[in-house]
Amino acid sequence: MSVSEDDRLEPFTVLPIFPTLIWATQVRPEARERINGAFMTAINGARAKQPELKPTGKWQTDQRLHTLPELAEFRDLVVGSARQILDSHHIRFQEIKVTGCWANVGFQGSRHRPHAHPNNYFSGVYYVSAPRGGNTINFFDPRPQAAVMVPPVEQMSPMVAQSMTLDVHPGSLILFPSWLYHGVDVNRSSEERISVAINLMFDPYVEDMSTPLWEGNLKVSPE
Ligand SMILES: [Fe+2]
């Protein structure tokens, strides 16, 4: 990006340091059909056993969907993506594992207030269904002090925004740092919005990653 128009200056180099990265992709149709079919079978099976539940607000499944054999393809797809991201950043790790995976069924009028996913490294969301009017997710600037000074802008961009809204579709898969606040607007569609949340964490963590990253030069402890 070129900023300088002053003849006395070379163009500025703009350094996007400490970026907040969000990875968004689309599961291709063939795999999406299999994965969505597996989710719908699991969710509908559970719903059929609980006929007393009224379709209002939001339903959330238990958090162990990643343990279901029929959802192994989805789990492996997400874990594989997380591994690739970590490798691309040259992060040393032994393994990254799913610590929780659950589905949200959001009926008309349902929303999800801003929140983070503590005690994990990556979180993700996958959309089984995303009806028009319920097909967005919002991410919020993690720098609270940035809101102290908000000059008007003529054209919004990720460089100046306080929040970013992403459009999603059936098959959309988004990965993001677990600490990043996000929320979902009211579902204005009469159709159900079905999303799947997933958390991932390093394993082993304490033994492999929590010890100091430096060594002292005065030896006191035994080996
Ligand atoms: Fe979330």
Could you give the 3-state DSSP secondary structure of residue 77? helix
Q: How far is the CA of 17 from the centre of ligand 1 (A)?
A: 25
Measured in angstroms, how far is the CA atom of residue 190 from the centroid of ligand 1? 22
pTM exceeds cut of 0.85: yes
Q: Establish if 39 belongs to a structural domain.
A: no
Expressed in angstroms and rounded, the spacing between residue 125 Cα and the centre of ligand 1 is 7
In this structure, is residue 69 part of a structural domain? yes
DSSP 148: G
Q: What's residue 4's pLDDT?
A: 73
- Structural domain contains residue 48: no
User: What is the 4 CA–ligand 1 centroid distance (Å)?
Assistant: 40
Task: Tell me the C-alpha to C-alpha distance, in Å, between residue 17 and each of 14, 21, 161, 169, 182.
Answer: 9, 11, 16, 30, 21
What CATH number does the domain containing 193 carry? 2.60.120.620
Q: How close is the Cα of 6 to the center of ligand 1, in Å?
A: 46
CB-based contacts of 98, cutoff 8 Å, min separation 6: 66, 75, 78, 79, 198, 199, 200
CA of 74 to the centre of ligand 1 (A): 18
| Structural domain total, the chain | 1
Say if residue 207 is exposed, middle or buried (CB neighbours under 10 Å; 0-12, 13-18, 19+).
exposed
The Å distance, Cα 116 to ligand 1 centre, comes to 6
Distance 197 CA to ligand 1 centre (A): 6
Residue pair 109/186 in contact by the 8 Å Cβ criterion: yes
- Distance in angstroms (rounded) separating the CA atoms of residues 127 and 144: 29
Angle (CA) 139-168-177 rounded to 5° is 35
Structural domain span for residue 102: 62-142+161-205
Asked if the structure places residue 187 within a domain, the reply is yes
> What's residue 107's pLDDT?
95
Whether 134 is covered by a domain: the verdict is yes
> Is residue 178 in a domain?
yes
Is there a domain that residue 122 lies in? yes
Q: Is 215 a domain residue?
A: no
Per the listing, tokens 């162990």 go with: 64
CA 36 to ligand 1 center in whole angstroms:
19
13 alpha carbon – ligand 1 mean position (Å) = 35
Contact 217, 137 (CB under 8 A): no
Sign of the dihedral through C-alpha 170, 172, 173, 174: negative
Q: What local confidence, expressed as pLDDT, does residue 56 receive?
A: 83
Say what the pLDDT of residue 2 is. Answer: 59
Closest of 209, 145, 143 to residue 180, by C-alpha: 143
From residue 108, how far is each of 58, 60, 192 by CA, in Å? 9, 15, 7
11 Cα: distance to centroid of ligand 1 (angstroms): 40
The mean pLDDT values, 10 residues at a time, for the chain of 223 residues are: 80 93 98 98 92 82 97 98 98 98 96 97 98 98 94 93 97 98 96 98 96 92 85
